[in-house]
Chain A
Amino acid sequence: MTLHAHILKRWGMLILLSVFVIRIGEAQKINFGAYTTSQGIFLTKSGDLNFNDKQPMIASNSSSTVTIALSDIEYQYIKIVADAERDITITVTSDTYLIIGAGGPGKQIPFACSFAYSNLGSAVVATAKSSAVEIPVGFTAITLPMLRRTAGVPAPPPTPAHGGYTAPSATAYLFLYGTLGPVGNVSGGYYSGTINVSVNYTTY
C-alpha cells in the first residue's frame, strides 16, 4: 500500500464516521419532527377573495381601486389548528397582478395582498378578528406562538412526546384581504391570481 492510498483510506474512514455521527444527531431531530407531525397542522380556508363582492361592477378605463379591508365583510380567512405549545411560521406569498389570459399590458391589474393574524385561542371568527394584528406591507413571513400568552411568566417548553400523552391544540386565524387597482385601460373579463399560505412549526 502506497503512502497516498494509506492517507486516502484514513481520511475516507474519518468522513464516513462523521457522516454517521451527523446522522445520529439528525435522527434525534427527526424524532422531534415526527412528534410535531403526529400533532399535525390543519388549515381550513373560508373561501376565495372576490373583489366583485366588494364592488359588483368594476369598470375598465378607470383609475379606480377596490380595497377589501380587514374591517369589511368580504375578507377571507384561514383557520389554523395546531399544537398549542408550539410556535408556527406563516409565509404568505401572492401574485402582484391579477391577470386574464397570459397577462401583460392591458391584461393585468395590480394586486396587493395584506394579512393579519389572531392567536388568542378563540374559536369564533368574529372574536378572533376583533383582536387581529395587521402585518405591515412588505412582510411575507411571521412567527408566532399558536396560543398567545396574555399574562404571567413565559410558559415552559413544550412537553416532549411520551406514551399516551396528547398535546393540547389551539386555533389561530390568518385573515386575508387587499387592494386591486388602479384598474387602468384593460380588457373586460375575469381576472385572477393566487395567494399561497404556508404554515410550519418553527424550529430554532
Chain B
Amino acid sequence: MMRYLIYVLAMSMLIGYMADAQSKNRVVATITASAVVLGNVDMTVVKDLEFEIDSLSSTALIVNPQNDGHCGEIKIVGNPNSLVRVTNEKQSVLQHESGQSQLYFTYNLSGSTSEVQRGSVLFTQNNEVRLSDRGVYYLWVGGKLSGLENIIPGNYTMELKIDVEYIL
C-alpha cells in the first residue's frame, strides 16, 4: 500500500512540475472593450399651460416663459450630459369648445438644466441643449395669445407638439 502511495506522489510531483514550467512561460494582458449607449429620451409634462382671461383690456396676452406662473413646464429625461435637439411648433390655434371661435398662440420657450424658471434661457430656433449630469432638462412654455377681439366665454384648448432627439 505504501508503495502505491509513493508512486502516486511521484507522478503528482512530475505533473505539477511540468505545469509550473508551462505557466512561467506565459504572460497575459486584458483589454476592456466598451461603449456607452444612449437610451430613450423621454418627456414628462410637469404643468400645463393655462390662462384665465377675466377681462379684456387688449387684443393680446403675453406669457413670459422665464417668470410667468401660467407657463407650462416639461421635464426631459435622457442620458447624462447628452446633447439633444428641441423642436417645436411655432404657432397653434386654440379652438373654442363650441367650434365657433379661435385664438392664436405663438410659442416662446425657455430652458434650464435645473428647475429654476427665472434662471432659464430663452430659446431661439431648433435649440440644441445638453442634459445635466443627472440626464434632465426643464422647458417652460410661454408665448403670445392673440385674436382676443373675437373671444367668447368658454374653454379654449390646443396641443403643443415638441420633438426631442439626440444629436448623434
* A residues lining the B interface (CB < 8 Å): 12, 15-16, 19-20, 22-23, 26, 29-30, 33-34, 36-37, 41-43, 45, 48-52, 55, 57-61, 66, 76, 78, 94-95, 98, 109, 111, 113, 176, 178, 180, 183, 186-201, 203
Residues of A within 8 A of B24 (CB): 33-34, 37
Q: Choose one: B10, B21, B34, B168; the contact of A16 (CB below 8 Å).
A: B10
In the complex, whether B150 has a CB less than 8 A from a CB of chain A is no
In the bound complex, do residue A200 and residue B27 qualify as a contact, i.e. CB atoms below 8 Å apart? yes
Per-residue CB contact flags for chain B residues 1-34 toward chain A (1 = under 8 Å, else 0) read: 0010011001100100110011011111111111
| Closest B residue, CB atoms, query A27 | B17
Complex: A68 Cα to B116 Cα, angstroms:
42
Contacting residue for A41 out of B27, B35, B82, B167, CB 8 A = B27
CB of B36 within 8 A of chain A? yes
**In the assembled complex, which residues on chain A have CB atoms less than 8 Å from the CB atom of B31?**
45, 48-49, 76, 78, 176, 194-195, 197
Say yes or no: B33 contacts A58, CB within 8 Å. no
Known: A183-B37, A189-B39. 5 other contacts (CB 8 A): A23-B17, A26-B17, A50-B34, A57-B82, A196-B30
What's the least CB distance linking A31 to chain B, in Å?
10
When A48-B34, A189-B36 are in contact, do A22 and B29 touch as well, CB less than 8 Å?
no
For residue A78, which residues in chain B have a CB less than 8 angstroms away from its CB?
A: 29, 31
Q: A16-B6, A57-B82, A60-B39 are in contact. Are A194 and B28 (CB under 8 A)?
A: no
- 14 CB contacts below 8 A, A to B, read A20-B10, A33-B21, A37-B25, A42-B27, A43-B29, A45-B29, A50-B35, A57-B168, A78-B29, A109-B37, A111-B33, A176-B31, A188-B39, A195-B30
Q: Is there a chain A Cβ closer than 8 Å to B40's Cβ?
A: yes
A191 partner, pick from B10, B11, B22, B35, beta carbons under 8 A: B35
Q: How far is the CA of A200 from the CA of B33 in the complex (A)?
A: 23
Query: How many positions in chain B have a CB within 8 Å of any CB in the partner chain?
Result: 34
Q: Please, which residues of chain B bring their CB within 8 A of the CB of A50?
A: 33-35
Q: A19-B14, A23-B14 are in contact. Are A60 and B27 (CB under 8 A)?
A: no
Query: How many whole Å from A94's CB to the nearest CB in chain B?
Result: 7
For chains A and B in complex, what number of residue pairs have CB atoms within 8 angstroms? 147
Which of B11, B21, B35 counts the most A-chain CB atoms under 10 A from its CB? B35
B79 to chain A, nearest CB (A): 6
Which residue of chain A has its CB nearest to the CB of B79?
A: A188
Contacts of A48 in B (CB 8 A): 31-34
The 7 closest A-B pairs by CB, nearest first: A188-B39, A51-B35, A200-B26, A57-B168, A49-B33, A192-B34, A48-B32
1/0 per residue, CB under 8 A from A, across B66-84: the answer is 0000000000001100110
Asked if B123 lies at the interface with its beta carbon under 8 angstroms from chain A, I say no
CA distance A111 to B84 in the complex (A): 27
Asked if A193 contacts B25 (CB within 8 A), the reply is no
